[in-house]
């Protein structure tokens, strides 16, 4: 069996866990890890690390580039690799920009006969697929997505950016019906005013619409585990029958899950026609290794 | 917008609810209902009923035939319509025969440039898609599918078939880890022996592997609502991270849900290349009406 050769682009939380998922996949090979210029440590001695300015061809044939980078940089990185005919997978998570990213990458992917699977994580990602299942099963009704308890990366970054903040994390607490409380733990810089920091966070666009509590702590790093979760629920109507109830719930290690889904999507890249896809546009069987009949016999 | 014209084949529980789901779909038209020979009542005066020996062309152009028939008859009916170039959807539920049915219908579908979506219900069906998501998200681990509480059609039919039984229903009770209790309520014929009936049921292949309780009642029809449910759970490993927990649960009107999923799959037939597919082989977006970008913006 020819293995799918995957390069990991970026070696933060997601990149680290992507490597673990690739090594565990029976049908994949880690081609190498591409880091930003200047990183010189060698945390995995048996893996080839190159920096971003080195031509990726030194890693040999690469089938898929896993873009373990912040959302804001995804379009640039995806185009770089797609234009070389290398499939890409990302976990771009700015929901309001997914349609535009898809159109933009679709063009580049088709021109270069490559596949790009975008927004491949848990939300957007498998939660999106479950929301689609819910709608197909009960077309009339309301779906609520309730996140947490768990650390929100985006909200934590915003809290950290405020003047006087040494470190901060924002924990998302689900209150039901898609309403969330934000518990923000801040570690202040010397002489910083808690009141000023607290007001700056509460007035930020990221926090001002939600119930937000700011709590001062001596050491933020003692609070932050990487567990997270979601509970999605739909009550709806199938045909003329009301009160159809659906629930989906996960309690997961956040970066490990995101990375695993990206790696499963890397496999799907090799099975699709050129173009850009979100996860609701690909059949779930394409995420799984092995023989089609065997998968159908086991799971259907 | 050109509407998808759907004919309903069979007018039992599923057929009735399929009609409701088609009427509620913004992009579909009910072409007519095809019943077995001899049925003469006209329960929906504004719908064209024809019998099975009448040429389906009297209903005008039919895009999709929804096969609301017992599993055992699906292959025959599917081939009949596929060979006329009409897409088919069924809720064939004999898990061990799905791979063979798929191969058999795939040939006929491709020869006639038609699409057949098979095993489209809740299990097999959307449960299958969720099991695939679970595996993609945590490739190492165990998934348990726990059915009920709710009436099992297959087990009820077997209980009814025993000598001395006037009527019977079998209720599936989930005990966890995929283990089920069977509560069988029997209404005996005059002079029938409860002990004989009870032994015959308990020894049947359908019941002998499960904890089975037989209870005599005066009137089975007073017990049987059509609600059902499932709880699927997986604990597994993503990459090298253990203890990833996933749950999916539904509490639903059984025939209404099955029919709705079949109708959503009828839509998907018009968007696929010729061939036969199980639900894990089709993208979930194909089940939904409307513009692709709008669906992605809403659900992803």
The stretch B5-28 carries a mean pLDDT of: 97
The backbone torsions φ and ψ at residue B207, rounded to the nearest 5 degrees and listed phi first, read -120, -25
The Cα–Cα gap between B35 and B21 comes to: 18
Please state, in angstroms and as integers, the Cα–Cα distance from residue A171 to each residue in A69, A192, B122, B243, following that order. Answer: 22, 22, 36, 21
In a mutagenesis test of the A interface, which of B96, B133, B236 is the best target, namely the one with the most A β-carbons within 10 Å?
A: B133
Q: Which two tokens stand for residue A166?
A: 């040494």
The Cα–Cα gap between A233 and A229 comes to: 13
Alpha-carbon distance A120 to nearest alpha carbon in chain B (angstroms): 10
The Cα–Cα gap between B290 and B286 comes to: 10
Residue B3 has a CB neighbour count (10 Å cut-off) of 13
| Nearest residue, CB atoms, A239 vs list B17, B248, B285 | B17
Residue B193 has a CB neighbour count (10 Å cut-off) of 12
Q: What is the pLDDT of residue B224?
A: 85
Chain A contact set for B247 (CB, 8 A) = 247-250
The stretch B51-68 carries a mean pLDDT of: 96
Banded model confidence at residue B143, pLDDT cuts 50, 70, 90: very high
Give the start-end residues of each E strand in chain A.
4-9, 28-35, 49-51, 64-67, 87-90, 115-117, 140-147, 150-151, 165-176, 179-188, 211-216, 227-238, 241-253, 275-277
Smallest CA–CA distance from A120 into chain B, residue: B300
Alpha-carbon distance A186 to nearest alpha carbon in chain B (angstroms): 28
Percent of chain B predicted with pLDDT > 70:
100
The backbone torsions φ and ψ at residue B179, rounded to the nearest 5 degrees and listed phi first, read -95, 135
Q: What is the pLDDT of residue A237?
A: 98
Please state, in angstroms and as integers, the Cα–Cα distance from residue B185 to each residue in B23, B148, B225, following that order. Answer: 36, 16, 13
The Cα–Cα gap between A235 and B236 comes to: 28
Q: Give the residue carrying structure tokens 């998570």.
A: A93
Q: Which two tokens stand for residue A219?
A: 């050491």
Q: Give the residue carrying structure tokens 């609301």.
A: B68
| Nearest residue, CB atoms, A98 vs list B19, B241, B300 | B300
In this complex, how many residue pairs, one in chain A and one in chain B, have their CB atoms less than 8 Å apart? 236
Q: What is the pLDDT of residue A168?
A: 97
Contact across the interface for B128 and A300, Cβ inside 8 Å: yes
| Nearest residue, CB atoms, A24 vs list B132, B139, B260 | B139
- Closest residue by Cα to residue B182 from B150, B217, B210: B210
**DSSP character for B272?**
S
CB B144 within 8 A of CB A266: no
Q: What is the pLDDT of residue B44?
A: 86
For chain A, how many residues are written? 300
How confident is the model over B96-116, as pLDDT tens digits? 999 999 999 999 999 999 999
Q: What is the pLDDT of residue A44?
A: 86
Chain A contact set for B140 (CB, 8 A) = 24
| Nearest residue, CB atoms, A280 vs list B126, B261, B283 | B283
Smallest CA–CA distance from B248 into chain A, residue: A248
Q: Which two tokens stand for residue A168?
A: 């901060």
Residues of chain A with pLDDT under 70: none
Give the start-end residues of each E strand in B102-258.
115-117, 140-147, 150-151, 165-176, 179-188, 211-216, 227-238, 241-253
The Cα–Cα gap between B234 and B261 comes to: 24
> Where is B154: in which H helix or E strand?
helix B153-160
């Amino acid at each position: 069996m020819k293995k799918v050769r995957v390069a990991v682009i970026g070696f933060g939380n997601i990149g680290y866990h992507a490597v673990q998922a690739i090594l565990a996949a029976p049908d994949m090979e880690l081609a190498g890890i591409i880091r930003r210029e200047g990183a010189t440590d060698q945390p995995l001695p048996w893996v080839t690390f190159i920096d971003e300015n080195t031509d990726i061809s030194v890693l040999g044939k690469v089938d898929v580039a896993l873009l373990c980078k912040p959302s804001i940089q995804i379009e640039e990185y995806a185009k770089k690799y797609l234009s070389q005919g290398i499939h890409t997978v990302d976990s771009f998570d700015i929901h309001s920009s997914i349609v535009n990213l898809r159109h933009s990458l679709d063009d580049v992917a088709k021109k270069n006969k490559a596949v790009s699977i975008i927004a491949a994580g848990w939300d957007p990602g498998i939660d999106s697929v479950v929301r689609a299942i819910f709608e197909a099963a009960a077309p009339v009704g309301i779906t609520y997505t309730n996140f947490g308890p768990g650390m929100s990366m985006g909200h934590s970054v915003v809290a950290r950016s405020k003047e006087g903040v040494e470190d901060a994390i924002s924990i998302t607490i689900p209150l039901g019906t898609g309403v969330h409380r934000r518990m923000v733990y801040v570690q202040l810089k010397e002489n910083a005013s808690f009141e000023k920091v607290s007001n700056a966070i509460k007035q930020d666009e990221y926090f001002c619409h939600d119930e937000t509590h700011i709590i001062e702590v001596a050491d933020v790093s003692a609070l932050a585990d990487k567990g997270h979760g979601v509970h999605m629920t739909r009550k709806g109507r199938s045909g003329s029958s009301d009160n159809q109830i659906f629930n989906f719930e996960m309690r997961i290690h956040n970066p490990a899950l995101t990375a695993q889904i990206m790696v499963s999507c890397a496999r799907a890249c090799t099975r699709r026609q050129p173009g850009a896809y979100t996860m609701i546009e690909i059949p779930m069987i394409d995420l799984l290794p092995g023989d089609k009949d065997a998968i159908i016999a086991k799971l259907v």
